[in-house]
Structure 1
Amino acid sequence: MSVADKSVKKKGGLGETVSVIVQALLLALVIRTLLFQPFSIPSGSMRPTLLEGDYLFVTKWAYGYSRYSMPFSPNLFSGRIWGSSPERGDVVVFKYPPNPSLDYIKRVVGLPGDRIQMREGQLFINGVAVPRAKVGQIDNPDITEVDRPVDVYRETLPNGVSYDTLDLTPNSIGDNTREFVVPAGHYFMMGDNRDNSTDSRFTVGFVPEENLVGRANIIFFSIADGASPLELWKWPGSLRPGRLFTMVN
């Protein structure tokens, strides 16, 4: 084989490597834009359902696509394409309306046209109290974020979706609100950690359907104590094996 032949072979090998890398990046971009997006829980607002250190897959196609479905949210079009409406009880990742560069995750409790109000810690939808039953207490700081027992209440929405909520502080500022009327094309979001959640009762306000990113579906990894998944040496003490590959309810 001549020196020229060897040179051609080396160049071909480099070109193939670059091609494979580019194809892999494009495939990852398509998957992230159209199918799944990984998301890490940054705060305790969805405790006990979701904990800081939970890593989720968010289904991007669940509600169709908007500009916020794409990386960097380019202003290519408005509204949603192939849109589908979320259901009550869905846990949704969305862009924070006052600052769309931020991702929030909450539960949908109010649909367009609904009247939403909190009275003495109980959720009312269209004037009807959502059934709320005390199911016990949790005395685990990893779940509650406080070093004391916390009351847990099970709510059941009109469509039958049930989930647990925490009551950290009776008669807190969010336990009694005015009545909110959800505008057309918007949703009312609340965190399951009712006394420690910035949601539609406060600065989040009504969430436009355009801001929906996707539905939280599955926890694929979970680690406590603020540890990073890359800190393998912390796994023996901080990994939450019971939460791996569990569905988000």
Structure 2
Amino acid sequence: MKEPTQSSFWKEFMEYLKMIIFVVAVVLVVNNFLLINAKIPSESMEQTIMTGDRVFGNRLAYVFGEPERYDIIIFKYPDNEKELFIKRIIGMPGETVEIKDGKVYINGSEEPLKDSFTPETPVGDYGPYTVPEDSYFVLGDNRNYSRDSRFWNNPYVAEDKILGKTVLKYFPGIKLLK
């Protein structure tokens, strides 16, 4: 039986090294340009996303389209951009948002927004807030326990601070998010 030479050892080592470098490069590209990975730290989005859940956001979701009402977004928190938040878009650019008895009204409408995703009846009166152009007003689904646009010093999320649209809960269990 022929013993491996030092030359064949280095050839094999270089092949493994190339493979590792390729895998690391792919992971970096996916993580920095395609997906954003986040862990839910609080109860503000319950029942849609639970505390401790892990989700993926699509970084390319708004390259060819605009955010829409009810999208769940991952964004840089306006009062401290080092923190990432996850909330649902409620108010669109140019709209006036007012919350009366926990119900959300847009532009003085007689009918409140549909909010069947909230786990309990929200309480409180807030606003009115006039959303600037290129910005959004966001709320957590669990409104009675959410630190959201109603309470921030800078209540609006600028479009360029949105990192992605949350599309998939992958732990524990898998669930597509709307």
- Establish whether TM, by shorter chain, passes 0.5: yes
CA contact (8 A) 2:139 2:148 kept: yes
* 1:166 aligned counterpart, secondary structure: coil
1:57 equivalent in structure 2: 56
Identity level (%): 32
Q: How far does residue 37 in structure 1 lie from its aligned partner after superposition?
A: 2.3
Match of 2:151 among 180, 202, 221: 202
Give the aligned CA root-mean-square deviation in angstroms: 2.1
CA contact (8 A) 1:116 1:180 kept: yes
**What corresponds to 1:165 in structure 2?**
118
Q: Contact conserved, 2:43 with 2:51, CA < 8 A, in 1?
A: yes
The structural deviation recorded for 1:163 is 3.7
CA distance in 2: counterparts of 1:123 and 1:112, whole angstroms: 16
1:101 paired with 2:82, answer yes
TM-score normalised by structure 2 residue count: 0.90
Q: 2:162 maps to which residue?
A: 212
Q: Which amino acid aligns with 1:108?
A: I
Q: Which amino acid aligns with 2:176?
A: M
CA shift at 1:97, angstroms? 1.4
Q: What are structure 1's unaligned runs of at least 5 residues?
A: 65-82, 132-154, 157-161, 223-243
CA offset at residue 130 of structure 1?
4.7
Alpha-carbon distance in structure 2 between the residues aligned to 1:176 and 1:130: 16
In the alignment, is the contact (CA less than 8 A) between 1:117 and 1:177 conserved in 2? Answer: yes
Distance 1:163 1:18 in 2: 52
TM superposition shift of 1:2: 9.8
* Counterpart Cα distance in 2 of 1:205 and 1:178: 11
SS of structure 2 residue aligned to 1:183: coil
Aligned residue pairs total 177
2:142 alignment counterpart = 193
User: Aligned match of 1:116 in 92, 97, 113?
Assistant: 97
Deviations 1:38-87 (A, max 9, x none): 221111001111101211121111013xxxxxxxxxxxxxxxxxx53100
The TM-score normalised by the length of structure 1 is 0.66
Contact 2:96 2:107 in 1 (8 A): yes
